[in-house]
C-alpha cells in the first residue's frame, strides 16, 4: 500500500477516536487558562521573565499533548486493533511512520494556535510589564512552543509503542514531567538542562543561563524524541501484534 492511503486511514482514526480531539482541546483550554492566571500574577520578582510567564500555561498544558501522543498509539493495542492495522499495512515501518505523522501535524498546529492564544492572554494580564518583549522574542516563543508540544506528543507516542500501554506511558511520563524533573533539577544542577522537558522549555524564556540556548535546547528535546520513536519502531517491528 502506498504511503498516502496509509496516512488517510491513520488520520481517520485520529478524527474518530473522541478522546484524541478532546486531548487537543484540553491542551488549548488548559494552556490558555493557566497563562491567563499567570499573567495577572505579581511581576515584581527580580527573576521575572515576561515571555515565560505569558507561556507558562504550557507546563500543565503539555500533559494533554503527552496524553494525545500516548493514546493515539496505545489505542492500537486494544482488542486486536494493531493486527487489523498490520493486515492492511504489512510494512510495519511504513505504518508507524504514518502514525507518527498524523500525531505530529495536529499537535504542531494546535500547539501553534495555543501558544499564540496563551501569549496574547498572558500579555494582556501582564500589561506594561510585557512591553519590553520584542517581536522576535515573541515569534520565537510561539514557534518554539508549538514545536515543543509536538515533540512531547511524539516522545509519548514512541514510549507508548515501546511499552504497549497508554496507562503505563502516562504513569511514567506525567510524574516525571511534573515532579521528578524538578527534583532532579534541584539536585543535579546543569545535568537537568538536558532532560527532554527542561531542555525544550528554554525556547519559552526571554533570558536563559546555562549550557543550552533556546534552539539548542529544542534540539536536545528532538534527540530524545527521535530516540523514543526509534525504540517504538523497533518494538513494533520485532514484537508480535
pLDDT at residue 87, as a whole number: 76
What's the pLDDT band for 240 if we cut at 50, 70, 90? low
- Residue 161 in contact with residue 169, Cβ under 8 Å? no
| pLDDT tens string 106-115 | 999 999 999 9
Return the closest-CA partner of residue 49 out of 58, 38, 60.
38
Beta-carbon count within 10 A of 207 CB: 11
* Percentage of residues of the chain with pLDDT beyond 90: 54
What's the pLDDT band for 133 if we cut at 50, 70, 90? confident
Return the closest-CA partner of residue 172 out of 150, 186, 155.
155
Return the closest-CA partner of residue 160 out of 59, 43, 87, 68.
68
pLDDT at residue 3, as a whole number: 82
Average pLDDT, integer, range 206-210: 81
Is residue 43 predicted with pLDDT exceeding 60? no
What's the pLDDT band for 78 if we cut at 50, 70, 90? confident
Distance CA 123, CA 40 (A): 9
| pLDDT tens string 114-131 | 999 999 998 888 888 777
Amino acid at each position: 500500500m502506498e504511503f498516502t492511503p496509509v496516512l488517510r486511514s491513520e488520520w481517520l482514526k485520529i478524527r474518530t477516536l473522541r478522546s484524541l480531539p478532546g486531548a487537543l482541546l484540553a491542551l488549548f483550554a488548559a494552556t490558555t487558562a493557566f497563562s491567563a492566571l499567570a499573567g495577572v500574577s505579581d511581576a515584581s520578582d527580580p527573576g521575572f521573565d515576561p515571555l515565560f510567564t505569558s507561556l507558562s500555561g504550557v507546563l500543565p498544558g503539555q500533559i494533554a499533548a503527552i496524553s494525545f501522543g500516548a493514546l493515539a498509539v496505545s489505542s492500537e493495542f486494544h482488542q486486536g486493533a494493531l493486527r487489523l492495522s498490520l493486515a492492511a499495512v504489512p510494512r510495519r515501518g511504513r505504518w508507524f511512520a504514518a502514525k507518527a505523522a498524523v500525531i505530529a501535524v495536529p499537535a504542531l498546529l494546535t500547539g501553534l494556535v495555543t501558544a499564540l492564544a496563551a501569549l496574547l492572554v498572558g500579555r494582556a494580564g501582564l500589561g506594561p510589564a510585557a512591553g519590553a518583549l520584542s517581536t522576535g522574542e515573541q515569534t520565537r516563543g510561539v514557534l518554539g512552543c508549538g514545536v515543543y508540544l509536538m515533540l512531547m506528543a511524539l516522545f509519548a507516542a514512541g514510549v507508548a509503542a515501546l511499552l504497549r500501554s497508554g496507562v503505563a506511558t502516562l504513569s511514567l511520563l506525567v510524574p516525571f514531567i511534573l515532579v521528578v524533573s524538578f527534583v532532579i533539577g534541584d539536585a543535579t544542577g546543569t545535568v537537568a538542562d538536558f532532560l527532554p522537558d527542561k531542555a525544550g522549555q528554554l525556547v519559552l524564556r526571554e533570558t536563559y543561563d546555562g549550557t543550552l540556548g533556546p534552539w539548542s535546547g529544542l534540539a536536545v528535546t528532538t534527540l530524545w524524541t527521535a530516540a523514543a520513536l526509534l525504540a517504538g519502531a523497533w518494538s513494533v517491528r520485532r514484537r508480535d501484534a
